């Protein structure tokens, strides 16, 4: 199952999990726009929920978005790239 992990930091730290990229982007952007965070990251991941897996957890894909608040107060998003692509 594909999920989206998000985190935002500075001056406080926030994090969460959602099943929709748009939802994760929205929450992270709101935290930055409100000044509750200065940076954010939203990353696609695979959820492993027990079953045949040794343990439940998330496997990050490296694909997603990183955001910062610009000097004029806007939120600027740049894409993250999976490590396999970044190395080529």
Distance CA 41, CA 15 (A): 9
Q: How far is CA 74 from the centre of its chain?
A: 18
pLDDT tens, 14-47? 999 999 999 999 999 999 999 999 999 999 999 8
Q: Which of the four pLDDT bands, split at 50, 70 and 90, describes residue 8?
A: very high
Task: Using the structure block, give the residue that is written with the tokens 């000044």.
Answer: 35
pLDDT tens, 39-83? 999 999 998 876 665 677 888 999 999 999 888 888 999 999 866
Q: Which of the four pLDDT bands, split at 50, 70 and 90, describes residue 2?
A: very high
């Amino acid at each position: 199952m594909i999920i989206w992990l998000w985190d935002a930091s500075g001056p406080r730290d926030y994090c969460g999990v959602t099943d929709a990229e748009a939802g994760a982007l929205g929450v992270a952007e709101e935290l930055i726009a409100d000044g509750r965070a200065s940076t954010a990251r939203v990353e696609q991941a695979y959820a492993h929920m027990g079953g045949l897996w040794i343990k439940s957890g998330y496997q990050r894909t490296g694909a997603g978005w990183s955001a910062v608040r610009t000097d004029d107060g806007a939120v600027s998003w740049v894409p993250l790239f999976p490590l396999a692509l970044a190395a080529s």
